[in-house]
């Protein structure tokens, strides 16, 4: 806490680096502070050291390391019982450009047509995500549908293909009316998936997270077994969980599940001012989705915004060949570590001279963006919305 602001929580320690006789302090709002020396009698008695160097990027895996990883993937016997789940990881790069990358089978953008959200699709057998207030407040309060900016160019706000621009909207648990020391209200999502292995993702953006109490939003997200009553599920051990903090940049948090089965996702207020969430997405991973499973394309008119196509590279180097084999093997292995292993395969392929098309395809699936990828997203969305309005002119009213 910074004492220069009258005791208010205006700066936080975000990182500590401990050296042999010094501690470097990284502040959320104040940058890197000079180190503290517990043994020093005065600040002038110690010469200030140089700022620690940034870490050196790790080298790509060697051919031997890639072959070892490939053998491990081939030997995996993945047993994921129905109703089980695991945490998959986070994505800080995609921001508001979810279309194509998330929610190809189902998406719910909260409060986009406040008090209602936008669903993609409106209905599809086996998929559902229903948001509620936590069990302690059910019947006495309800989730709020909050619209911060009706029309914005902020890239962290979700682009909605039905209205053709970005809008900052979210579900809100009305937690600002409850003492910070009291549990809840929280946002609870009852999510159902059909047979197969799926990815469930939440998008959270602390759009006003630089000021006052808004900066203190710090959530615990838990994947819970389903029970008819939320109050029965809250006491069960979580299948997986993750923390959400310092999310002014916008973050996707993803979980791996297997259906047919319902789940609960609880976004706990965790002593924050309130709980907010922008959207929930479901994507089918295994068996591989068919073209008719891709419901998101219904809202892109005649445009098909898909990963870049890849042709086989002839006379590929051994490293590139094994990297591609590892990538394919990971596609069929629903394991929580597959994202990090895919990234290693990508870095090896890039170092081995992989084609631009292959790297663009892998970037799409890894949620790694370049300026050219952003430009293509914008171009595709503009074209898609023009096409959508030609096919469904009644949607023009949704833009207001």
Closest Cα partner for 202 from 336, 339, 98, 83? 98
Confidence of residue 8 (pLDDT cuts 50, 70, 90): very low
Confidence of residue 211 (pLDDT cuts 50, 70, 90): confident
Closest Cα partner for 106 from 326, 259, 335? 259
pLDDT at 26 (0 to 100) = 80
Of 54-63, 95-104, 189-198, the least confident: 54-63
Calculate ∠ Cα 215-220-221, nearest 5°: 120
- The SS3 assignment for 149 reads strand
pLDDT at 397 (0 to 100) = 63
Tokens representing residue 322 in the block: 């094994």
What's the CA gap between 296 and 267, in Å, rounded?
A: 25
Confidence of residue 3 (pLDDT cuts 50, 70, 90): very low
Buried b / exposed e across 167-195, counting CB within 10 Å, b at 16+? bbbbbbbbbeebeeeeebbbbbbbbbbbe
Q: How far is CA 357 from the centre of its chain?
A: 25
Confidence of residue 77 (pLDDT cuts 50, 70, 90): confident
Percent of the chain with pLDDT over 70: 90
pLDDT of 36-75, one tens digit each?
555 555 545 555 566 667 778 788 999 999 999 999 988 8
pLDDT of 292-317, one tens digit each?
788 878 889 899 999 999 877 777 89
pLDDT at 109 (0 to 100) = 96
β-pair type (106-113, 85-91): unpaired
Tell me which of 370 and 399 has the higher pLDDT.
370
pLDDT at 39 (0 to 100) = 56
Confidence of residue 22 (pLDDT cuts 50, 70, 90): confident
Confidence of residue 349 (pLDDT cuts 50, 70, 90): very high
Closest Cα partner for 352 from 327, 374, 321, 375? 321
Confidence of residue 4 (pLDDT cuts 50, 70, 90): very low
Torsion region of 76: left, alpha or beta (phi above 0 gives left; psi -120 to 50 gives alpha): beta
pLDDT at 36 (0 to 100) = 57
pLDDT of 118-170, one tens digit each?
988 766 789 999 999 999 998 899 999 999 999 999 999 999 999 999 999 99
Confidence of residue 18 (pLDDT cuts 50, 70, 90): confident
Confidence of residue 113 (pLDDT cuts 50, 70, 90): very high
Residue 264 has pLDDT above 80, yes or no: yes
Average per-residue pLDDT for the chain: 88
Mean pLDDT of 277-303: 88
């Amino acid at each position: 806490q910074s004492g220069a602001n009258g005791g208010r929580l205006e700066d936080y320690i975000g990182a500590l680096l401990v050296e042999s006789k010094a501690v470097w302090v990284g502040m959320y709002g104040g940058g890197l502070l000079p180190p503290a020396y517990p043994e020093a009698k005065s600040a002038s008695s110690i010469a200030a050291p140089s700022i620690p160097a940034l870490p050196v990027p790790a080298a790509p895996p060697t051919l031997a390391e890639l072959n070892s990883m490939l053998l491990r993937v081939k030997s995996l016997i993945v047993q994921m019982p129905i109703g089980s789940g695991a945490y998959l990881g986070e994505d800080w790069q995609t921001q508001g450009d979810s279309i194509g990358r998330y929610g190809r089978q189902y998406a719910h953008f909260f409060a986009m047509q406040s008090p209602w959200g936008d669903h993609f699709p409106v209905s599809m057998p086996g998929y559902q995500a229903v948001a509620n207030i936590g069990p302690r407040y059910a019947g006495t309060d309800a989730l709020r549908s909050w619209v911060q900016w009706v029309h914005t160019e902020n890239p962290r706000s979700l682009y909605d293909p039905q209205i053709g621009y970005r809008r900052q909207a979210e579900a809100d648990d009305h937690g600002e009316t409850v003492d910070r020391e009291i549990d809840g209200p929280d946002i609870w999502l009852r999510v159902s998936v059909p047979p197969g292995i799926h990815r469930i993702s939440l998008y959270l953006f602390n759009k006003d997270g630089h000021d006052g109490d808004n900066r203190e939003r710090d959530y615990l997200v838990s994947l819970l077994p389903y029970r008819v009553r939320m109050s029965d599920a809250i006491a069960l051990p979580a299948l997986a969980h993750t923390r959400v903090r310092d999310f002014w940049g916008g973050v996707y948090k993803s979980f791996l599940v297997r259906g047919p089965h319902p789940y609960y996702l609880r976004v706990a207020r965790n002593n924050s001012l309130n709980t907010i969430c922008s959207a929930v997405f479901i994507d089918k991973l295994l068996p591989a989705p068919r073209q008719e499973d891709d419901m998101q394309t219904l809202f892109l008119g005649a445009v098909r915004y898909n990963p870049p196509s890849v042709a086989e590279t002839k006379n590929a180097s051994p490293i590139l060949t094994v990297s591609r084999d590892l990538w394919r093997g990971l596609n069929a292995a629903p394991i929580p570590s597959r994202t990090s292993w895919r990234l290693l395969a990508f870095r090896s392929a890039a170092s081995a001279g992989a084609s631009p098309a292959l790297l663009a395809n892998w970037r799409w699936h890894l949620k790694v963006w370049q300026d050219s990828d952003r430009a293509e997203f914008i171009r595709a969305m503009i074209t898609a919305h023009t096409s959508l309005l030609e096919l469904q002119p009644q949607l023009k009213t949704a833009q207001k």
